[in-house]
Every structure is written in C-alpha cells, then in structure tokens.
Structure 1
Amino acid sequence: MQKLEAGVAPANVDAMLQREKDLFVQRHPKSRELAERAKAHWAHGVPMHWMLDWGTPFPIHVASAKGARLEDVDGHSYDDFCFGDTGSMFGHSPEPIARAIAEQAARGLTYMLPTEDVAIVGELLAKMFGLPFWQAATTATDANRFVIRWCRAITKRPKILVFHGCYHGAADDTFVRLKDGKPIHRPGLLGQVYDLTQLTKVVEFNDIPALEAALAPGDVACVLTEPALTNIGMVLPQPGFLDALRAVTRKHGVLLVIDETHTISTGYGGYTRTHSLEPDFLTVGKPIAGGISCSVFGFTAEVEARMRKAEAENPSGYSGMGTTLSANAMALHAMRANLEQVVTPAAYEHMLPMSQRLARGAEAKIKARNLPWHVSNVGARAEFVCAPEQPKNGTEAQAAMHPRVELAIHLYLLNRGFIIAPFHNMTLVSPATTADQVDRLVATIDGCLAELVT
C-alpha cells in the first residue's frame, strides 16, 4: 500500500496532475504560441523568471484585469484570488488609481524633485500606520535593504537577525535558513560569493529563548521580521511572542523592523496598527501604490534623531540608499490616490468578513472530506495547508508542504476559472471581491477535494 500524500492517494494526485495539465494545454493555444515566440529573446520565455512559478506547462498570458477579474489572451475569464501575489491586493486598476496614473502621465513621470503630493502622502502614511517619519523606495526589497543600512549606521553594530522561513524580497542579508539547527544560505541562491551567515543570525520564529541568546552578545543592529510569516506557508505568532520580541529587542538595544508587505492584509494600518505593535521601523511595498512600483519605510521620532546624528558623524557622499526612480512623481500620485480612496477602513470592513467566509467555507469542505488539513487567516489573506496543525515555526511549515498535491489543486482551479497564489495555497480578497466569487471558489475547492479523495 502506497504512503498517502497529505492524506491523499498518490495515484489520485498523479491522475489529476496529468488530466489537468492536458486540459490546460488544450485550453490555451494562444498563450502557448506566445510562450514559444518569447523564448527567442527572453530567458525561459519570460521577462521575469517568477512568471514560470505557476506550475503550468507554460504561462498564462494576460489580456486585461479589472477589479477581481482577469482575462487571458485565449478568452478565458478568472476570479482572481492572487492579485499579483499581493501587488494588486486592493483590486486590479481601481478607478482612483487609473485616474491618477492618467493625470500624472500628462504632466511628467519623474523629475527627482518633490510635488505637492509629498506632504499629503506623508500625512496619510502617518495616519494609517502611526509612525511620524517616512521615506520612499521603489520596491520592498529596496526598503528593507535601506533600513538594514540605517540600523547598522545608527547602532554601529554589524549584524542583523531574521527568522527561519522569512521573506523580505531580494534583500541580500536575509537569504539565510536553518538546517539541523545551523545557519546556511537559502537553497537555490545564485551568485553568492561571501558568507551571509557571518553577519546574519537566524533563529526559529516564536522561539524567545533562541532570540534572547542570539541578541545577548550585543552585536545585532536589528531584528527584521514579518509579524506573521507568510511565504513559507503561514506561521502565526504564538500568544505573547510579539510582545516578548519587542521587550527582548529593547533590552539589548536592538532596533525592531516590521515588514508589512504581506501582512498589510491584516487590517487598516496592517498588523502593526491592528495589534498595537511598536516597531522602530516599518516597511511596506507591493500594494502601497495600487500596483505601481513603490515602497515606503516609516520610523519613530527617536530613530529620526539618531539617523540625523549618524549622518552628521559621516563624511558627505553617497549613502548607499536611494535610486533615481525612488519617490518618482507617478508613484507618489498613485500612492496618494490609493491611500485616500482605495486603502480605507471601509475597504477592510468588506475584505475581512469576505476572507473569513472563504476560510471557514474551505475549512468546512476539508473537514467534510476527512482530510488532515487546516486553514489560517491573516485578515484578508487566507491559506489552506495540507497538514493537521498550524506550524509554530518555519521548520514545521516547511515540513507541511506537499508540492504535488498543491500543484494538482492549483491546476484544477485554474482550469475552472480561479487563480490563487502559485507558491502555496494562499488566497487574497479585495474590495472588489464578491460573496458569489468566494462561494464559487469554495464549491470548486470541494469538487477538487472530491476527486482527490475518491
């Protein structure tokens, strides 16, 4: 008798994978043609290799997207529960964003000079997240990279600490993992010529004793973390963990950086405002400007004073922070429209119950099929995991992954008009997502599970 995969017979997974791959190829002749054509001039046929991570025989090529719907070049329509992996978390091309882009396009895209939007956006960010000072960058990767540099300059300490399974974009210092309790480079990392573990410490999420031991030597400038891990599956903080994290970092003079790029789904002001966290720095990218490339990092008044002191002690010259297109006029105008008219408390009042509806609906279907799986939520973000219990750290989350089962589910959903995140079973809802879309997704998940457990 074959060993089950996440409670599912491997033969059933094999059959679904083959059937759904064949169906995908039949349904997408234009996408297939474009994918082959693109291989002549793009590596692997795509302009950015993540576009291959959907597990499909070739990528779907998009024709248009609006609200919570997406159309491909073969004429298929999809209910989108991925939203560009959070980049369009508040819906595709909301009217205020589309209007702002058109307005700014007519008067210039970038000048390396501020506009009247700057003061207003600063006020909006302070109101939303509760931190008084801000800077803009182009991506969350840049924001995290710049904040790490600031933390080292302020504290005059060389090292940082992250948690196993973390995700902070492509910030070099964060590409470390644990293996058998030892720090290593993240598997798959290309072109790394120096040892990241010399300056980056890594411990398990939710492990305060390990954190305390790592910070005790006094050589760590900052702890950089999401308030809940979201990219190795979903790992929620245990009761009291985030309070203890703040207390331990303060005890050892370590700056606390909260990355809200994914957990902005939690509520207005992200996890930080919803749960009254007190970070020294906060970073957020992806959805902050409605899908236009932009990120921001905020910080306290005390940190701002320490930043000025560090600058005064340093010779003039390039700080290593900032890029030519950072805070460009287009991004700032889109962010203003987003913060004023799209990312509002009212938007979350729609999104959070809708995500609960999805999570509880999927949970009921999983339970009815007697599968050893669970569902987790971080606000508008929900994920069903092919393991019986919520993981407490990255190692447990990694062990809970079943790539073949997850791929079979993803293909099944795609072929029936539903998009969820390609990397794991993550779903997002937007202000444009309807109850009907949620209910149809839950029903389709049930149909998929029925075939898997037959």
Structure 2
Amino acid sequence: MTDTDRARLARLLSAEQETYSAEHPRSRELFEAGTNLFGRVPMTWMNKWSGGFPLYLDHARGNRITDVDGHTYVDFALGDTGAMAGHSPAPTTAAVARRMGELGGITTMLPSADAQWVGAELTRRFGMPLWSFTLSATDANRWAVRLARLATGRSKILVFAYSYHGSVDETFAITGPDGTTVSRPGNVAPPVPLDVTTRAATWNDLASVERQLAHGDVAAILTEPAMTNIGIVLPEPGFLEGLRELATRYGALLMIDETHTFSAGWGGATREWGLEPDLFVIGKSIGGGIPCGAYGISEAVAAAVTGHTDTGEADIIDVGGVGGTLAGNALSTAAMRATLDEVLTEDAFAHMTALATAFTEGVQGVLDEYDVPWSVSRLGARSEYRFARPAPRSGEESAAAHDDDLDAYLHLAMCNRGILMTPFHNMALMCPDTTRDDVDRHTAVFREVVAALYD
C-alpha cells in the first residue's frame, strides 16, 4: 500500500493553487468585488470550491461549463445532481420558453395539466399513488416529515449519522458516545436539541435501528437507499429489506429520499431494488435545473392524514404549514414534464450508467496501478472515490475518511486540467450529453494527478 507523502502533497497543492489563481483573474476580481454578498457569494456554500475563490459562470450547455475567464470544462459535478439532465436540455428550455412566452403564467396558484401528467409519470416510475409538489427536496422532506408525524401521532424522525436530506433541521444528527442523539458538528443553530426531534442510527447496522425504534416514538425512518453526500455508501445485502420490516414491526413509516439516488435508474433505486416506501421524496434533477421537488405518499398515509384533517385537528389547505405559494407553479411543472418525458428517459439512463461503469473501472485501474489506499463506488450513473480502502460501510466511517488537503488537491488539479468534480466530495455524475471521450479524459487526468502524488 502506498502511503501519502504529506510534504509532497503540500508542494503539489501549493503549485495547483498558484496555477488556479493565475489562470482565473476575472473570477477572482468578481469574488473580491462581492462585498454586498454574505461570504462574497450568492450562497455561502459556494465558497466550498477550492482555490480561495470560486469559478464564475459565463455559460453552460450539456456537460460543458465555460467560466468568465474563457476556460471550458467537462462537468461531472452537474450541479450536485441538479443538472443530471445536462445544462439547459433543449426539450426543457423549449417547454419553459413556451410557458413563459407563448402561454404565459409562470405562477398563478392554479393547477395545470402538466402537473397531472407529472404526477402520473412519477407514479409510473416510483410506484407511489399520490403526489404533491414543492420547490426543492428540502421542502419536500420537511413537509413529508410533518405528514408522517400527523399520520402516526409520533414526534421523532429516525435518520442515519452523516446522512443528508437538504437543510431539514431534524436530519443534522449523529449518535453520541453514549448512544444518545446529538447535533452533527457544524450544524448552524439547531432550534432545539436534536434528541427532542430525532433519533440517529448507524447505516448498515440494523441493530442500531431497532434500538432506536424500540422507544416507540419514531414517526418515520428517513433515509436514502444509499448514502451519497458523505460519499457513496452502498447498502449491504438485506439492509434495506430489514428497514422495511423493522418500520412495519414498530409502527413507523418508511420514507425514502431519492434526490441523489435517482442516478440508480429510470425509476431510481426504489424501482431497481424493489423498495416499498410509505413516503417518497425527489427533487433537483426532475426539473432539468428549474427549482422543483415532489413527495409521494401511500393511500394508507393519505387516509391517516385525511382522518386528522376531517376532524379539524390539522389544516393542510390553509394555515397548517404544509405548502408554499410558488410550489407546483406552472413553470416548474412544465419543466418537469419535458425533462421526464424527453430527457431523463430509459435510454438515457442506460447510456449514463454504462459511462459511469467505465468511469469507475478507469478510477479503479489507476488505484490498482499505484496501490493507492482509496476506493471507488458506483450508484447507477453516479461514481465517487473516497480516501479509504476498503470502501466505508457507514456514515461514520466515510466521515472519518475525509481529508481536506487531498480533496483540495484533487479538485484543483482536475479543474486546472479542464475537469470539474462536485466541490463537496469527489462525485462524478453522467448526463445524457456525457461521452466516452469525456470519461477517458477524466481517467487520463486522474492518472496524471495520482501519479504526481504516489509515483
């Protein structure tokens, strides 16, 4: 096994930082001028891009991004899944332009025929019979959690340590040293101690799940089919089936969030792996880049919710805290219809998955060649390398594999050679416009930057 020479890493990182700064003067100028923005950027997480300042966008199309300094990149980040359909896919932009121009009516608080079409298509793909729309997966998770609490009469949500479900307060939880639930490090001002709202368990550990469910106060298990935002951590055989069985046995609902794991296939991991959720959440990619999200519920959950609303206990039409005036607007539903109907098709997923398989094989070949103690995992059209070998099997293990300097070096070295990876981790996503040449280019660059460190 080849150990990381930290002194060599520091020298390589410094050289990549100098190159990045020298080649992006306009981006640096815009960043330094952004004094009226908190953190100098539109959203503070944009500072996660390595190099001291982010790239600034000029234009993007398909899987190519061009920055304001004129550099064009092969984009494997794809908006951290938000642009899984590619940047500005033609059917989506045409549908959006028609809604905004010819038809008019971006948001009217009125339903549209497009919304009904999208609901039927989501049922066809994911199996849930009833749907409601949002403007993000965060909202979809937040509102579905409220319905789960209403349907069960229970207060707590079970999540997995280092999972990610947007900025939902209940989900930034990990298991403390004594088995209690505590806030994840860095969580910004949780409104209440996390053990008031949440129980945390360990991914791939059914015993830890059962211990938390045994308290009898869990409304829903909220989980991705595979962990993603901490690196891809795949479920071990029987784990997801065990979650379904435990949820049923202890009277909790099973809530599946496929915002990232939609990469698994045309119907997400839910269809690919035969999952049976009670609630289902998706967002980002289904609108081709237009803000949107959706949650689906079973007939049983709908009946339980309706029972409480019929008695006046809860109000899901007016002031009950579920919904928003822009949710389900005509523009977002038009975008979703076009994207699902014409872009993220079964053929597209077959193409994307084949490329992700080649991407993964290319990375593994380089790791084997230099005996680098990293691993690479794939989830359909998505692949990711992690600084651990063997691959982490839980969120805790994946978090422990994080390495700031290695992350910065990999991201900057790739960027300086014309390839963008997701800034939060080393995730690569394929879109319908990605080609085998793009994948082979990544493999060649990856080999170059790994060789510089380990040869």
Secondary structure at the counterpart of residue 70 of structure 1? strand
Give the Cα–Cα distance (whole angstroms) in 1 for the partners of residues 157 and 367 of structure 2. 40
Deviations 1:261-318 (A, max 9, x none): 0000000110101001000011011111111110000111222222211211234551
Residue 101 of structure 1: how far off its partner (Å): 1.1
Alignment of 1:15-164 (within 5 A): 15-39=11-35, 41-106=36-101, 107-164=104-161
Secondary structure at the counterpart of residue 227 of structure 2? coil
1:439 is aligned to 440
Q: Give 1:298's aligned amino acid.
A: G
Give the Cα–Cα distance (whole angstroms) in 2 for the partners of residues 290 and 382 of structure 1. 20
How many residue pairs end up in the alignment?
449
Alignment of 1:2-401 (within 5 A): 7-39=3-35, 41-106=36-101, 107-180=104-177, 181-315=179-313, 316=315, 317-401=318-402
Give the Cα–Cα distance (whole angstroms) in 2 for the partners of residues 78 and 179 of structure 1. 42
Specify every segment of 5 or more residues in structure 1 that has no aligned partner in the other structure, as ranges: none
Give the Cα–Cα distance (whole angstroms) in 2 for the partners of residues 123 and 63 of structure 1. 37
1:411 is aligned to 412
Residue 218 of structure 1: how far off its partner (Å): 1.5
Give the Cα–Cα distance (whole angstroms) in 2 for the partners of residues 403 and 381 of structure 1. 22
Give the Cα–Cα distance (whole angstroms) in 1 for the partners of residues 254 and 262 of structure 2. 17
Give the Cα–Cα distance (whole angstroms) in 1 for the partners of residues 239 and 191 of structure 2. 35
Residue 219 of structure 1: how far off its partner (Å): 1.0
Q: Give 1:203's aligned amino acid.
A: A
Q: Give 1:190's aligned amino acid.
A: V
Deviations 1:338-378 (A, max 9, x none): 11101110110100010000000110011101111111011
Give the Cα–Cα distance (whole angstroms) in 1 for the partners of residues 52 and 212 of structure 2. 44
Secondary structure at the counterpart of residue 85 of structure 1? helix
Give the Cα–Cα distance (whole angstroms) in 2 for the partners of residues 429 and 7 of structure 1. 31
Secondary structure at the counterpart of residue 281 of structure 2? strand
Q: Give 2:265's aligned amino acid.
A: G
CA contact (8 A) 2:180 2:195 kept: no
Give the Cα–Cα distance (whole angstroms) in 1 for the partners of residues 20 and 170 of structure 2. 39
Deviations 1:181-219 (A, max 9, x none): 442112112222421212200010111111112111221
Q: Give 1:184's aligned amino acid.
A: V
Relative to structure 1, the CA distance from residue 16 to residue 176 in structure 2 (aligned partners, 3 Å threshold; closer, same or farther) is same
Deviations 1:374-407 (A, max 9, x none): 1101111101111111111111111112221121
Q: Give 2:340's aligned amino acid.
A: L
Deviations 1:112-161 (A, max 9, x none): 01112122111111111111110001111100000110000000011110
Give the Cα–Cα distance (whole angstroms) in 1 for the partners of residues 402 and 232 of structure 2. 11
CA contact (8 A) 1:249 1:256 kept: yes
Output the TM-score relative to the length of structure 1. 0.97
CA contact (8 A) 1:12 1:453 kept: no
Q: Give 2:448's aligned amino acid.
A: G
Secondary structure at the counterpart of residue 433 of structure 1? coil
Deviations 1:228-270 (A, max 9, x none): 1111122111110000110010011110000000000000110
Matched residues, percent identical? 42
Give the Cα–Cα distance (whole angstroms) in 1 for the partners of residues 132 and 307 of structure 2. 17
Secondary structure at the counterpart of residue 383 of structure 2? strand
Q: Give 2:310's aligned amino acid.
A: A
Give the Cα–Cα distance (whole angstroms) in 1 for the partners of residues 63 and 50 of structure 2. 22
Q: Give 1:191's aligned amino acid.
A: A
Output the TM-score relative to the length of structure 2. 0.97
Specify every segment of 5 or more residues in structure 2 that has no aligned partner in the other structure, as ranges: none
Give the Cα–Cα distance (whole angstroms) in 2 for the partners of residues 56 and 272 of structure 1. 38
Relative to structure 1, the CA distance from residue 313 to residue 7 in structure 2 (aligned partners, 3 Å threshold; closer, same or farther) is farther
Give the Cα–Cα distance (whole angstroms) in 1 for the partners of residues 275 and 319 of structure 2. 33
CA contact (8 A) 2:222 2:256 kept: yes
Relative to structure 1, the CA distance from residue 190 to residue 121 in structure 2 (aligned partners, 3 Å threshold; closer, same or farther) is same
Secondary structure at the counterpart of residue 50 of structure 2? coil
